[in-house]
A and B are shown apart, each in its own frame.
Chain A
């Protein structure tokens, strides 16, 4: 198929940016979206133009490195990551706009690449169980109800991609944060630090210029791992309790 791509190009954080149009032809529907961009980049390189910078690593939907707003949707039209999106989701003749995540907390680095280190700092503030190596008791001394373990697992599958932030009109990071609060909060191992954790992580979240949550639900709709919106309720409940 033949496509018209409109891609955000910006040489650096301070440089001006603009949408640039590129035609691509002979795209196979078996290609992944990122392989289609690989083809474009080979063409640009051959013409002596600098390739478009974009992030990816595992290309299996698990590392969270890839991003992209595709026609205004985070990770494009399917419920999956950009690297797992395939060209059969598009039709011959389509025009596709490709932009970076846009959020104050994720400053632009170059072209389609942004800086998501704010997420790391939110985890540093308390997204862990404090147990030094060697200090752990025998694993099976602890029983965990299967439903609890399953919910912990479901929310622990967050890949830290940032689509929730990009999709949110307020650029809030509450789905990401709620996922971590729920993962650790459901488990007995996470109880000792539960109150302190939510307070510290939320305060770091706010310090990073993420916006507030108005329960719009765009985040959960965009999340490739289908993290449920109710983790934000759990986060709010934990916070209220911690503040009491």
Chain B
């Protein structure tokens, strides 16, 4: 193995094979479906699959594998599968149906997704995603998902950022909810039919690996506290993204990295952990009490104008009293061509610069004002109130409920917030991780979105993975069965169970001074400052030191009250924060090693003269897949970097441009 680089990581062997079939890109998925082995229907019942997560990816996979006749065990930490975080997705889901005859095609959806991801995703997987997307719409409509329709009774489409065709299917501002209820109902049908067993309020805390293969999980019953062993022939992680490492994000409170991090520690590589999406239009932080951030749809930027005061002294003035000549419509000034409609990453970064410059607005949080105005005054002078309400009424009401201010009267205040994580467990073409028999689907894997995700394409990926891809690839693995049964008291099972129990005991016995939340907040602050919208070598090095000492303090000074044998929310949070404290360091190492800017990863040292992200294809045209390497104490040591070179055959590499 190569030398230790900067004392921080080692270089391992490159990844050579992603298991994608040979041949033209259009034919690969058909070939894979044909070449993958089949499992005789009468044998499926005897093969069991554990699926952790009931979001779009997990619920759709559970339903489909259940229908096929496998024995599925499904887990989620909420009290019902229907509450998975996918429920909160607003805007819509893409598919290249070309119902509007505006020139859309599978190839164009593929191309847009690769370009949007700033050429950091794997061609073969993205092509398959685009190919499968149309089936998703058919499936969901058949289930009764009430997509928006026109007066002719046919499906309606809207357009979304970053593309020039209308290909987004939607159900008002609640697309995620409607899609998830569809998948949930399909899954519940299988629960009724007896093929899917459902375990709610269960948190997975460890993967069981026997003879190098994933054979089960250790889960905690969050009501009784019991530590349970669940064995199976294959394990699928559909546990969502890890945006909550930043403490404040648009994610649900319980979103966590525990499932994927525990797998990572057991040998699954983590792909591109530093790729994070920061969304420009969220309701800003109003005080130290804030527990989460709320997204305001990007569509508002069509009619709102973004500005900050020219003078710092005006930061706390009533915006209506600031005269026109004292306002800086900075996006219109800096980007006259795109104005308020510049891409997400640019809009986010510029808002940060304005606030760093002391011209942010809204309440002081610490010694800092985090907010810029999104002003509808000129739209209101142009259009009637009714017309504006028709377009944005429900968003305005939501904003008003949260802030107490009416955007029709006072300019809205917005600020960027962490929204999505493109990184995740590294998977091959079959969505299999580097642990045989362990699969990752949905936001939990790293595939498809490269360094930046386009709007409405996560829902597409989750359902593509769960309904269509995984069920076809996992059978290739399951066909090797029947598998040797694992004894419940096998040493690997015992070891996994013991490690979970001893971790819980440790957390409960430290009895220090600080609450779990206070550690989480501090970690989030470090991540946001140094591994957020703009990253520098110096900042990232500092962050790594800060995280290490915070982690050391956590294991010495955290206070978790109560006991292990009952519902204990502090204990649940403590376990999640402990894992975030390890992930945060890996994210910083990944961000530090990638000395280029791409998509959502902006390294200040790598920008064009006018401040755009500057990619370095010569040195960084690869996926960074990290292997965990532990110290003898069990603490994380210097991770090992495996590079998967990205080879573009169907698409020509270009520098992204918005000019």
Contact = CB atoms under 8 A, between A and B. Distances in A.
Contact of B189 (A32, A60, A128, A189): A128
Contacts of B186: 128, 131, 133
Interface stretch (B273-281, B562-570, B600-608, B609-617): B562-570
A160 B79 CA distance: 11
A190 B88 CA distance: 25
Contacts of A30: 286-287, 289, 403-404
A139 B137 contact: yes
Interface stretch (B7-15, B148-156, B537-545, B642-650): B148-156
A130 B189 contact: yes
Size bracket, chain A contacts = 35 or more
Contacts of A3: none
B408 interface: no
A143 B152 contact: yes
Size bracket, chain B contacts = 35 or more
Contacts of B254: 57
B188 A129 contact: no
A58 B252 contact: yes
A120 B559 CA distance: 36
B25 interface: no
Interface stretch (A92-100, A110-118, A233-241): A110-118
Interface string B123-156: 0000000000001011111111011111111110
A128 B185 contact: yes
Main SS class of interface, A: loop
Given A59-B291, A120-B188, A184 B144 contact: yes
A36 B290 CA distance: 10
A92 to B, nearest CB: 16
Contacts of B142: 129, 131, 135-137, 139, 189
Contacts of B457: none
A159 B178 CA distance: 10
Contact of B294 (A56, A60, A139, A146): A60
Contacts, number: 213
B82 A160 contact: yes
A115 B79 contact: yes
Given A50-B561, A110-B566, A120-B80, A62 B192 contact: no
B442 to A, nearest CB: 16
A226 interface: no
Interface in A53-104: 53, 55-60, 62-65, 78, 80, 84, 86, 88
A63 B88 contact: yes
B214 interface: no
A169 interface: no
Contacts of A133: 60, 63-64, 67, 139, 186, 467-468, 471
Interface string B141-180: 1111011111111110000000000000001101001100
A49 B83 CA distance: 30
Contacts of A214: none
Contact of A39 (B99, B289, B562): B289
User: Which of B81, B139, B559 has the most C-beta atoms of chain A within 10 angstroms of its own C-beta?
Assistant: B139
Nearest to A132: B67
Given A127-B188, A183-B146, A184-B144, A45 B515 contact: yes
A59 B292 contact: yes
B567 A110 contact: yes
Interface string A135-160: 11111101111100100110011011
User: Which of A62, A88, A190 has the most C-beta atoms of chain B within 10 angstroms of its own C-beta?
Assistant: A62
Contacts of A45: 515, 559, 561, 570
Nearest to A27: B289
B493 to A, nearest CB: 28
A34 interface: yes
B287 A58 contact: no
B297 interface: no
Contacts of B561: 45, 48-51
Interface string B187-199: 0110110000010
Given A39-B289, A57-B253, A146-B150, 15 more contacts: A30-B289, A32-B402, A35-B289, A51-B561, A63-B78, A63-B83, A80-B401, A109-B223, A117-B79, A119-B80, A120-B200, A133-B67, A139-B140, A139-B142, A146-B151
17 contacts: A28-B286, A30-B287, A34-B291, A46-B515, A60-B88, A60-B294, A62-B88, A63-B87, A64-B83, A65-B79, A120-B188, A123-B185, A133-B139, A149-B146, A153-B171, A157-B174, A183-B146
Interface of A: 11-12, 28-32, 34-36, 38-39, 42, 45-46, 48-51, 53, 55-60, 62-65, 78, 80, 84, 86, 88, 109-110, 113, 115-117, 119-120, 123-140, 142-146, 149, 152-153, 156-157, 159-160, 183-184, 187, 189-190
